[in-house]
Structure formats: C-alpha cells, structure tokens
Amino acid sequence: MNKKVIVIGNGRIGSNYVYSMALQGIADEIGIIDLDKEKVQGDALDLNEATFYSEATKVYAADYSDCSDADLILIVSDTSRYSNSALFKFGSSNVLELTKTLKKVINSRFNGIFLVAADPVNVLTYETMRITGFPRGKVIGLGSVVDTSRLKNKLAKLVGIDDPRKINIYMLGDQGSEEFAAYNAAFIGNSSFLNWCDEHLIDGHTFLDAESYVKQKSQIIMRKKHSIVYGVSSALTLISNAILNDHNTVMSVSTCLEGEYGFGNVCLATPAVIGSNGINNIVELPLSNLESEKMQRAVKMVKGNILEELMSSSSSYF
C-alpha cells in the first residue's frame, strides 16, 4: 500500500524531517506545503536527487487538496528565530494559523492521523482535536519524546550505564517548567531504577541534576545556534515510522487525557502505544505522591494556557 505523508511547514525541522524520512524510505511519497513555494519546489528537486541512492520516495510541492488521501499529516513549526516564511513560528501562539490550516485540511476530506510539532505543542494538540473533532487516537503531539531521550542519555552517563536504552524512563507533563521525570516507574533492565540506585549508592541529587539538564538543553541549543533541528526531526521520524509501519512502540507523546491520572479534557505528554491507528492506548504510569503533584501542576498550567490562547486569538471554529 502507498504510504503518503503531507508536511505543513517547511522550516528547518520540516525539511530535515523530509530528508530523514526519504533517506530511510519510510514513506512512498511526501508532499510539502509552506508559504515559501519557491523553497518547497527547490527542496523537492534536491531531495529527489538525494534519494536516488537510497529508497525511492517521491517528494513534491503539495497543496491542501493533496491531503485527502494522506495517511499522516505533520504540522510543524520553524524553531529558527529568524524565519519569516514559515506557517508556524517559533515562540508564537500559532492558534489562529492552526485554525485556518485545519479548515483547509478538513475540507479536503482528510481522514488520517495528525502529528503536531508546533508551539505550544500541548495546546495545539488539544486544539487540533477540538477543531477537527478527530478522536484522540488520531491526534498526536510531539510531547516529550526528545526530552525522554535526553534524560536517558544523561542518566546513563551519571549512573555509569553504557547503553542508555537499558534505562526505561519517561518525561511527562508540559514542556518546560512543568515537565518531570517519572522515576517511580523507571527501570534499569528488570530492576527498579530507584532500587538499583540505592544498591549502587547513587545520590538522589543525581536525578535532579539530570532533570534540570533536560529542561535547559533546548535553551542551550537555541543560544548557540538559534534553532533546534536534528533531535526534533529524528523524534518525528521515529513517531512517523511507528505509525506508517505499525510498530506499536511506546513513546511519551502529547495526547488528550480521558481519566488517566485522574484528569481529562487536557493534552499532556505521557507514554502511549503508537501504531498504524495512531495512539492505540495510553500507558498510565504509577506515580509517586510528588510526581502526582507535578502532574497536577502541569494540568493546571496547560488548561490555563489553552484558555489564554483562545481568549487572545479570538478563534472562530467551524
């Protein structure tokens, strides 16, 4: 079966995502939509040459009518502070642009899966569900996939584990101050992470150092190069691969809670099983009392941001 992806937003992340997807042959065709049509056409020509030596993926400049038979639509912002052409901007609310974009997509009779990677991701994931009426399984936000990998890498170095993949832990909540690591449900191999650290005399401040590092890393990258590209585009490729090839992989993505952790009507990062139907189910982790308080603060923050964005944007829905 033909696997078709439409990318809305051809900034640095969008173009790197298309390159990664095409080079690995994950999709058969990838259409790109952006305000800068000349750049899209140039990227399409360039990328089609790049894939000559790998998998045959057709890359082309698309319009909204091409969304009708797509399996997956990625809505992605440009994290560069200096971009003037991208549909979705770094550090912007993006709610009004999302509303206009989704109306065009829905008019095409698209019935696939949305993948949202625009700021603020939890708010825009929620709004994508609200505006389109799609079930939560078919609307996925980037969530904490990147920060989870950052945490695993940092913890592996701090506790002396050679392979970060042996640490099973997830970042949850809302990106930034209200994001947290679920240590209570973490494992190293088959051993509880906390018990393993106790046995190996690993100080608890190590966890705080790792969590603080993860929260600051995006800011560090932005200060040094003014954009974030490779980690995000790789994470989006990983999610897309799980969807298009039905991998049923567990990742900490942004999804709408419907009673999980005692909350509803809000999108937050939490582990979920990702496959060809989108989100198959939520993996609700057993949180400690402190982690439950952090989740509650994240819910309060995101719900407040949703209300604030709606009031400031005066969005009209259809």
**What would the pLDDT profile of 106-162 be if each residue is shown by its tens digit?**
999 999 999 999 989 999 999 999 999 999 999 999 999 999 999 999 999 888 889
C-alpha 197: how far from its chain's center?
30
Two tokens, residue 251: 């990742």
Confidence of residue 317 (pLDDT cuts 50, 70, 90): very low
In this prediction, residue 316 carries a pLDDT of 43
Strand partners for 253: 270
Instruction: Please tell me the distance from the alpha carbon of residue 41 to that of residue 96, in angstroms, as a whole number.
Output: 26
How many separate helices (H) and strands (E) can be counted in the chain?
9, 14
Q: Give the start-to-end residue ranges of the domains of the chain.
A: 4-141, 145-309
Token pair, residue 63, equals 């319009």
Instruction: Quickly state the pLDDT bin for 90 (edges 50, 70, 90).
Output: low
Instruction: For 302, list phi and psi in degrees, rounded to 5.
Output: -65, -40
Whether the full predicted model's pTM is greater than 0.85, yes or no, is: yes
The highest-level CATH class for domain 4-141 is alpha beta
Give the type of residue at 18.
Answer: V
What does the alpha-carbon distance between residue 281 and residue 272 come to, in Å, rounded to a whole number? 6
For 268-285, how does the pLDDT look when each residue is reduced to its tens digit (9 = 90+)? 999 999 999 999 999 999
Percent of the chain with pLDDT over 70: 92
* Confidence at residue 303, expressed as pLDDT on a 0 to 100 scale: 92
Residue 185 CB neighbour total at 10 angstroms: 21
CATH of domain 145-309: 3.90.110.10
